[in-house]
């Protein structure tokens, strides 16, 4: 009987040691985690600084001035202005690119977006229509036309027609919200 009591005490001591060790580990982890996490590098989710954007624009302007016949250079400058949300200058750069090569549906679509930001809605629709005419499978121009018609011109029927063309070309087209073009159409009809 004495031997059994000794074994029981031994197992209880081991169990208590395990519980104390586990609890100590949890406490140390909880109190040390903030200091460990603060030493970890933080992921940078910010875009370029205003100074970096300004430098990039100046560089692109210099490149366009050096080679005014460079179609891609004008697009790059237009895109820099686009990203910096300077629609007037983006429009001018895109128009210069289109003067060199008028049949670029992507440039026309970006031009349309800038016209929209500049509240020149008719010109935006015209740019989107021209892009869609040049490339009969160009999805983004049709989608953007629907956005302008629906949100800016209160033309629900026109927007539905534009988005139905998108759905016909690409039924699984997905919006930035994760919603499909079919779901969008169902929600507004």
pLDDT of residue 6: 55
Q: Is residue 133 part of a domain?
A: yes
Q: Tell me the pLDDT tens digit for each residue of 77-94.
A: 999 999 999 999 999 999
Residue 177 CA: distances (Å) to CA of 107, 136, 180: 24, 25, 9
What pLDDT, on a 0 to 100 scale, did the predictor assign at position 30? 40
Say if CB 160 and CB 149 are below 8 A apart: no
Does residue 17 lie within any of the structural domains?
Answer: no
145 lies in some domain: yes
Contact 56, 78 (CB under 8 A): no
pLDDT of 157 > 70? The answer is yes
Assigned domain for 45 exists? no
pLDDT, tens digit, 9 for 90 and up, residues 34-76: 443 344 344 445 678 888 989 999 999 999 999 999 999 999 9
The 10s digit of each residue's pLDDT in 80-139 is: 999 999 999 999 999 999 999 999 999 999 999 999 999 999 999 999 999 999 999 999
The per-residue pLDDT for 24 is 44
- Give me the chain's average pLDDT, please: 84
**Residue that is last in its domain, among 69, 102, 135:** 102
Q: Domain of residue 61: give its range.
A: 57-102
Verify that 136 and 94 share a domain, yes or no. Answer: no
The verdict on 132 and 184 lying in the same domain is yes
Number of neighbouring beta carbons within 10 Å of residue 139: 18
Q: Which of 36, 70, 102 is the last residue of a domain?
A: 102
Cβ-based neighbours of 91, under 8 Å, separated by 6 or more:
78, 111, 114, 115, 118
Place of tokens 């800016």: 152
Q: Is the pLDDT of residue 25 over 60?
A: no
80 part of a folded domain: yes
DSSP 41: P
Does 93 lie in the same domain as 128? no
Q: Do 133 and 170 share a structural domain?
A: yes
End of a domain among 102, 136, 156? 102
Q: Are residues 183 and 138 in the same domain?
A: yes
Do 186 and 135 belong together in one domain?
A: yes
One domain, residues 127 and 93:
no
Residues 127 and 167 in one domain: yes
Has residue 2 been placed in a domain? Answer: no
Q: 128 and 145 in contact (C-beta within 8 Å)? A: yes
Please state the domain count of the chain. Answer: 2
DSSP string, 57-73: HHHHHHHHHH-TT-HHH
User: Which is nearest to 54 in space by CA: 26, 28, 81?
Assistant: 81
What CATH number is given to the structural domain containing 173? 1.25.40.10
CB 173 within 8 A of CB 160: no
Does 97 share its domain with 128?
Answer: no
Establish if 114 belongs to a structural domain.
no
* 28 located within any domain: no
């Amino acid at each position: 009987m004495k031997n059994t009591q000794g074994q029981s005490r031994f197992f209880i001591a081991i169990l208590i040691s395990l519980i104390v060790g586990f609890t100590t580990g949890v406490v140390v982890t909880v109190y040390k985690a903030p200091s460990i996490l603060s030493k970890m590098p933080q992921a940078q989710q910010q875009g370029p600084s205003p100074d970096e954007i300004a430098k990039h624009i100046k560089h692109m302007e210099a490149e366009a001035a050096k080679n005014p016949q460079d179609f891609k250079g004008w697009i790059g400058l237009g895109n820099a202005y686009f990203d910096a949300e300077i629609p007037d200058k983006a429009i001018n750069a895109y128009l210069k690119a289109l003067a060199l090569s008028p049949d670029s549906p992507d440039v026309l679509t970006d031009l349309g977006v800038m016209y929209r930001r500049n509240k020149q809605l008719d010109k935006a629709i015209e740019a989107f229509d021209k892009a869609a005419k040049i490339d009969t499978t160009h999805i983004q121009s049709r989608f953007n036309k629907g956005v302008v018609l629906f949100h800016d011109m209160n033309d629900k029927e026109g927007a539905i027609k534009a988005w139905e063309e998108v759905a016909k070309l690409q039924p699984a087209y997905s919006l930035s919200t994760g919603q499909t073009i079919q779901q969008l159409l169902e929600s507004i009809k």
